[in-house]
Amino acid sequence: MRFQLLGPLALADGPDVVVLQPSKPVILLAALLLHANSTVSAEYLQRAVWGEDQPATARAALQTCVLRLRRLFTKHGVTGTSIEAVPGGYRITAGPPTLDLLGFRDQVRRATALAGDPEAELYTLKDALSLWQGSLLANVRSDVLHRDEVPRLSEERLRAVERVCDLLLGLGRCGEALVDLWTATRVYPGHERFHEQLIEALYRTGRQSQALAEYRRVKGFLLDELGVDPSPSLRQLELSILRGEDLGAGGGSGAGGIRGAAGAVGALEPAPATLDPGSTPPAAPDPGSTPQVVQGVVVPLPAPAPVVGPVPAVPHFTGREAEAAAMAARLTAPPPPDAGGQRPLTVLVSGAPGIGKSALAQHVAHLVRDSFPAGRLLVRMTRADGHPRTADEVAAEVAAALGSGRAGERALLVLDDVVDADQVRPLLTSPDLAVVVTSRMGLGGLIATHGGWVHRLTAFTEAESYALLLAALGTERVEAEPRAARHLASLCGHFPAALRILTARLLTRPGLRLGDAVEWLGDDPLARLTLTDSPDHSVSGLFDRALGRLDPRLSEAFLRIGSGPPELLGGTGNTGGPEGAVRKGSHPPVPEDVLEQLADAGLLEDGPPGPYRIHDLLRAHLRRTVRIRNRRTEKV
């Protein structure tokens, strides 16, 4: 059993994660874990649980709270960790394998010891940062802990992120650094070091005008909001850019000079007053793209995700047991005798957008980590705008990331969101590689030429949906209203992306009854299945982006199919006749080649009824899209 403290407080047993519901025992557990292996005084624990205004019976109530926490351990099968009563207070014992905070600090110490090898230090730090799973202690309702402990932990991660960006700049990987820096500077507008790094990265990627515009923006913020001038190092950096000086691979003013202590580093949690409601942080443009200019101000284009990085953990992963077991067995099995050691093992995970392909691939990558000592890398095969990255670009990044690996040791690549087979083939060259490909496309040509196994994912079963709700919302909340939980899963169409958005919304409203949530969601599922503070995370947005990838003619055909009668899919529909029969006045079936292309793109599922069907949520989205377009046409 593993305690997860770097996000909502949770218990993890392998792939199963239970986010604990807010309660006083959960506050007590958080306070003990934050000081694991040390005696925590009873007075401090009382303040953490009840605040500064404690009840007269606080000491006796604390003992009761400890008993309740021990029962919670028993309920969730926590046997290897105990809460000890020691003189003056209580203590809980943990180590890096059982507490993510200690694991993070251990990884940061290892990174510091690798100071002479920047690539290894960078990889170790990124692996450490992947342990952070969201807003710190979101389910722990303690003003004392959020006031005294969360800022300290946030600072630890902040310093690690800062060091990662220093390393990227020092290695000349400025474009990769930009991705983290655009977010960091907007979340922490008063943190000048991040601004220095961002301005330097922009300048060194040939964007002098953007770098100077960013300096002016920062200077205005510091003067208007804080009443201070930019630091001397920021002013010196501006002067260097104006002079056109070569900042070099070592960076500009102070690059690499902010190395934290071995235990350092903290969460990039939003500062509520820094962004307009509903806005999203500006992002870095792709190399070679042209920034927009609005009222004379350069507005960066959306940033691509990092091309290559460590495989992140997947919170609350549930379901897909058969697929995960089969993939793990194939990836760890000896190579077939007819392979000749010339081709890597390939596993393809395909299916609709939002069906959980990436989550399954990343989960399996963690299951098989011991079989790949040379590392496990997530390789993003598309840019933020959905356009595919070139094979040469990806191959260069992968080669750089694997360069420090030892010969003969196996590495695993997760090639995420592949658009076509030509992106993949140049990477299938080393016998020391195993490759997991995720794609909405069937990629039959790749399988035909290079072999491998295919796992085509569909929506969850009812049992898998219920298990996800249990893992994400907690057993107590779900089992208190099991019928409502199952109804919610049904309203989501057992669609993994919809379920995860729903659970995120419910976690932010722990007092909302699931029965009330059924009525709230049922009124307009498409509108409600979105995160208000992150509009990109929505079911409608997911489907819109998928339609945007299609050829316009194919997209129009799909809109016609989704908003039309069932017989457009070639099935019986409501006609009562044989497959393919069309009544007088009805629409003729869509040509088979169009249906095949849509199925290959992951937008049609296998029937019945008919040879294909459309997921209910997707069909609702298509019909709404057509209604909106028709209303706009009528207005014109």
Winning range, highest mean pLDDT, from 76-80, 413-417, 628-632: 413-417
Q: Is the pLDDT of residue 30 over 90?
A: yes
Contacts of 296 (CB under 8 A, 6+ apart): none
| Average pLDDT over every residue of 213-239 | 85
Using 50, 70 and 90 to split pLDDT, how confident is the model at 491? very high
pLDDT (tens digit per residue) in 592-626: 888 888 888 888 887 666 678 888 888 888 888 88
State how far the Cα of 271 lies from the Cα of 161, in Å rounded to an integer. 17
Rounded percentage of the chain residues whose pLDDT exceeds 70: 82
DSSP per position, 563-576: HS-GGGGTS-TTS-
pLDDT of residue 568: 60
Beta strands 376-380 and 308-310: pairing type? antiparallel
Q: Is the pLDDT of residue 572 over 70?
A: no
Using 50, 70 and 90 to split pLDDT, how confident is the model at 436? very high
pLDDT of residue 283: 35
Using 50, 70 and 90 to split pLDDT, how confident is the model at 406? low
Distances (CA, A) of 40 to 95, 143, 311: 17, 17, 35
pLDDT (tens digit per residue) in 363-377: 999 898 888 888 888
Task: List helix spans (H) across 99-221.
Answer: 100-113, 118-129, 143-148, 150-170, 174-187, 192-204, 208-221
pLDDT of residue 253: 37
Rounded percentage of the chain residues whose pLDDT exceeds 90: 17
Residues 262/363, Cβ–Cβ less than 8 Å = no
DSSP per position, 36-70: TTS-EEHHHHHHHHH-SS--TTHHHHHHHHHHHHH
pLDDT (tens digit per residue) in 301-323: 344 445 788 888 777 788 888 99
DSSP 8-state assignment for residue 245? -
49 is written with which tokens?
């649980």
